[in-house]
Structure 1
Amino acid sequence: MSNYFDEELIEEIKERNHIIDVVSRYVPLKKSGSTYKGLCPFHHEKTPSFVVSEEKQFYHCFGCGQSGDAIHFVMQMEHIDFIDAIHMLGDWAGISIEEYTTSDREKEEIHIKNQLYEINREAALFYYKNLFQTRNDGLKYFYERGLNSQTIKKFGLGYAKDQWELLNRYLLTKGYDQNLIYKAGLVIKRKTKDGYYDRFRNRVIFPIINVAGKVIGFGGRIIDKGEPKYLNSPETPVFNKGNHLYGLNLSKDVIRKKKQIVVVEGYMDVIGLYEGGIYNVVASLGTALTKSQGYLLKRYADEVIIAYDGDTAGKAATLRGLDVLKDVGCSIKVIELADGVDPDEYVRKKGKDAFLEKIKKALPLVDYKIKLAHNENDLTTTEGKIKFVQSITYILKTLKSPIELDAYIQKIALAAHISPEAIKSEIYGNNKGNYQKDSASYKNKYRSKNDRYTNKYDIKPIKPIQKMGYIEAEKSLLKLMMDDKRLFDKIKAIMTCEDFIDEIHIKIAKVMDDLYETNEFISIEMILEKLKQEEIPILHDIYKKVVPIENVNKAFIDYMDVIKKHKLITRKIEIENELKRIEKMEDKTPNEIVRIRELCIDYEKLLKELKKQ
Structure 2
Amino acid sequence: MIDMGNNFDEKLIDEIKLRNDIVAVISKYVQLKKSGRNYVGLCPFHNEKTPSFMVSEENQFYHCFGCGEKGDIINFIMKAENLDFVDTVSLLGEWAGINFDKNSTSKQENEEIYRKNKVYEINREAALFYYKNLLDKKNGGLNYLLKRGLEIQTIKKFGLGYAHEDWEQLNKYLLCKGYNQNEIFMAGLVSEQKNKNGYYDRFRNRVMFPIINTTGKVIAFGGRVLGDFQPKYLNSPETPAFNKGNNLFGLNFAKNEVTQKHQIIVVEGYMDVISLYQNGIKNVTASLGTALTKNQANLLKRYAGEVVIAYDTDTAGQAATLRGLDVLREVGCKVRVLRLSQGKDPDEFVMKKGKVAFLEEVDNALSLIDYKIMLLKKENDLATTEGSVKFVKSITKILKGLTSPVEMDAYIKKIALESRISIEAIKSEIYGNNKYDRRNNEKKQILDGNKYRSKHDRYTNKYEIQPLKPIEKNGHLEAQRCLLKLMTANKEIFYKVKIVISYEDFVDETYKKIAQILYELYEKDDSVDLEKISNQLNIKEIAILHDINHCIVPKENVEKALIDYVNSIQKHKFKNMKVDMEDELKQLEKVENKTKEQIVRIRELCIDYEKLMKELKKL
User: What's the TM-score once normalised by structure 1's chain length?
Assistant: 0.81
**Rg (Cα) greater in structure:** 2
Amino acid at match of 2:386: E
Q: List per-residue Cα deviations over 1:167-186 (Å, max 9, x = no partner).
A: 22222221123333222222
- Residue identity over aligned pairs, in percent, reads 59
The corresponding residue for 1:343 is 346
Instruction: Report the residue type matching 1:267 in the other structure.
Output: Y
- Inter-partner Cα distance in structure 2 for 1:174 and 1:57: 43
**CA–CA separation in structure 2 for the residues paired with 1:121 and 1:77:** 23
* Distance change in 2, residues 1:35/1:409 (3 Å): same
Equivalent-residue separation in structure 1 for 2:407 and 2:149 (angstroms)? 44
Which whole-Å CA distance do the structure 1 matches of 2:574 and 2:191 have between them? 72
Q: Do 1:9 and 1:100's aligned partners in 2 also have CA atoms closer than 8 Å?
A: no
Instruction: Supply the distance in 1 between the matched residues of 2:20 and 2:291 (Cα, whole angstroms).
Output: 40
Q: How far 1:256 moved relative to its partner?
A: 1.7
Kindly state the Cα deviation for residue 468 of structure 1 after the two structures are TM-superposed: 8.8
Look up the match of 1:233. Answer: 236
Q: Does structure 1 residue 552 correspond to structure 2 residue 558?
A: yes
**Distance across 1 between alignment mates of 2:38 and 2:174:** 51
Match of 2:493 among 480, 487, 490: 487
Question: What CA deviation, in whole Å up to 9, does each residue of 1:365-412 have, x standing for no partner?
Answer: 221121221222110011111111111112212222211211111111
Question: Is 1:173–2:176 an aligned residue pair?
Answer: yes
- Give the C-alpha shift of residue 267 in structure 1: 0.8
Q: CA deviation at 1:138?
A: 1.9
Say which of 290, 294, 300 aligns to 2:293.
290
- Give the aligned partner of residue 436 of structure 1: 437
**Aligned-partner SS, 1:440:** coil
Alignment-derived partner of residue 409 in structure 1:
412
Q: In the aligned structure 2, how far is the partner of 1:380 from the partner of 1:572?
A: 83
Which of 180, 184, 200 is the aligned partner of 2:203? 200
Residue by residue over 1:260-297, the C-alpha shift from the partner in whole angstroms, topping out at 9 and shown as x without a partner, is 21110111110111112211111111142223222322
In the alignment, which residue of structure 2 is the partner of 1:478? 484
Aligned partners of 1:286, 1:58: CA distance in 2, in Å?
A: 37
Structure 1 window deviating more from structure 2 (339-348 vs 328-337): it is 339-348
**Other-structure match for 1:211:** 214
> In structure 1, what residue type is equivalent to 2:278?
E
Aligned AA (2:434): N
Contact 1:254/1:279, CA 8 A, preserved across alignment: yes
Residue 427 of structure 2: which of 424, 427, 433 is its match?
Answer: 424
The separation in 2 between residues aligned to 1:281 and 1:348, in whole angstroms, is 16
Q: Distance in 1 between matches of 2:525 and 2:103?
A: 48
- Shift in alpha-carbon separation, 1:180–1:521, aligned structure 2, 3 A: farther
Question: Which moves more between the two structures, 268-277 or 542-551?
Answer: 542-551
Partner of 2:166: 163
User: Are residues 346 and 497 of structure 1, via their aligned partners in 2, closer, same or farther at CA, if it must alter by over 3 Å?
Assistant: same
Letter of the 2:377 partner, please give it.
H
- 5 Å-filtered alignment, 1:378-389, equals 378-389=381-392
Alpha-carbon separation, structure 2, partners of 1:303 and 1:241: 22
The structure 1 residue matched to 2:265, chosen from 234, 257, 262, is: 262
Amino acid at match of 2:530: I
Residues 6 and 100 of structure 1 are in contact (CA less than 8 Å); yes or no, is this contact kept in structure 2?
no
CA offsets, 1:117-141, max 9 Å, x none?
A: 1111111111112222332222222
1:440 counterpart letter in structure 2: N
**Aligned residues of 2:56 and 2:538 also touching (Cα < 8 A):** no
Aligned to 2:394: 391
Q: 1:83 to 1:507 in 2, by over 3 A?
A: farther
Corresponding residue for residue 370 of structure 1: 373
Q: Which runs of 5+ in 1 are unaligned?
A: 447-463, 583-588, 592-604
Change (3 A) 1:522 1:349: same
1:216 alignment partner, SS class: strand
CA contact (8 A) 2:264 2:307 kept: yes
Q: Report the counterpart of residue 116 of structure 2 in structure 1.
A: 113
Which amino acid in structure 2 is aligned with residue 524 of structure 1?
Answer: L
Deviates more, 1:322-331 or 1:488-497: 488-497
- Give the letter aligned to residue 363 of structure 1: L
Which whole-Å CA distance do the structure 2 matches of 1:560 and 1:208 have between them?
63
Contact 2:267 2:310 (C-alpha < 8 Å) held by counterparts: yes
Call closer, same or farther: CA 1:420–1:168 in 2, change over 3 Å. Answer: same
Of 361-370 and 415-424, more deviation after overlay is shown by 361-370
Give the match for residue 308 of structure 1: 311
Out of 547-556 and 517-526, give the one that drifted further. Answer: 517-526
Q: Identify the residue that residue 585 of structure 1 maps to in structure 2.
A: none
**C-alpha distance in structure 2 between counterparts of 1:205 and 1:160, whole Å:** 7
Superimposed CA distance per residue, residues 479-528 of structure 1 (whole angstroms, 9 cap, x where no aligned partner): 33443344344344444545555554444444544554555444434444
Alpha-carbon separation, structure 1, partners of 2:572 and 2:188 = 62
Higher mean C-alpha displacement, 313-322 vs 511-520:
511-520
Q: TM-score if structure 2 supplies the norm length?
A: 0.81
Which residue matches 2:280?
A: 277
Amino acid at match of 1:102: S
Q: What is the identity, as a one-letter code, of the residue corresponding to 1:326?
A: R
Per the TM alignment, residue 17 of structure 1 is displaced from its structure 2 partner at its CA by 3.9
Q: 2:337 aligns with which of 334, 339, 343?
A: 334
**What is the count of residue pairs matched by the alignment?**
571
Distance between the aligned counterparts of 2:520 and 2:102, measured in 1?
Answer: 42
Q: 1:88 to 1:590 in 2, by over 3 A?
A: closer
Q: Deviations over 1:519-551 (max 9, x none)?
A: 544443444454454555433422333333222
Moved more, 36-45 or 489-498: 489-498
Equivalent of 1:141 in 140, 144, 161: 144
Q: Name stretches of at least 5 consecutive residues in structure 2 with no aligned partner.
A: 447-469, 593-610
Pick from 5, 8, 15: which aligns with 1:4?
8
One-letter amino acid matched to 2:156: K
Q: Quickly say closer, same or farther: Cα 1:142–1:37, change in 2 above 3 A.
A: same
Residue type of the partner of 2:144? Answer: Y
Greater shift, 528-537 or 139-148, is seen at 528-537
Provide closer, same or farther for how the CA distance between residues 78 and 550 of structure 1 changes in structure 2, counting only shifts above 3 A. farther
Q: Aligned ranges for residues 65-76 of structure 1 at < 5 Å?
A: 65-76=68-79
Residue 176 to residue 536, structure 1, CA distance change in 2 (3 Å): farther
Quote the RMSD (CA, aligned, Å). 3.9
Pair 1:472–1:109, CA change in 2 (3 A): farther
Q: Report deviation, 1:239.
A: 1.5
Q: Which moved more, 1:299-308 or 1:46-55?
A: 46-55
Question: CA 1:527 to 1:293, structure 2 compared with 1: closer, same or farther past 3 Å?
Answer: farther
Please give the alpha-carbon distance, in whole angstroms, between the structure 1 residues aligned to 2:579 and 2:396: 55
Hey, what's the Cα distance between the residues in 1 that align with 2:47 and 2:219?
Answer: 30
Write the letter of the residue equivalent to 1:104. S
Offset, 1:610: 10
CA change 1:191–1:217 in 2 (3 A) is same
SS of residue paired to 1:197: strand
**Alpha-carbon distance between aligned partners in 2 of 1:4 and 1:535, rounded to the nearest angstrom:** 30
Counterpart in the other structure of 1:599: none
Give the distance between the partners of 1:514 and 1:572, measured in 2 at CA: 30
Letter in 2 for 1:405: M
Residue 103 of structure 1: aligned partner: 105
The SS at the match of 1:4 is coil
The residue identity in structure 1 corresponding to 2:428 is S
Change (3 A) 1:99 1:572: same
Determine the C-alpha separation between the residues in 1 that align with 2:386 and 2:578: 71
Query: Which residue of the partner structure matches residue 602 of structure 2?
Result: none
Alpha-carbon shift at residue 317 of structure 1 (Å): 1.1
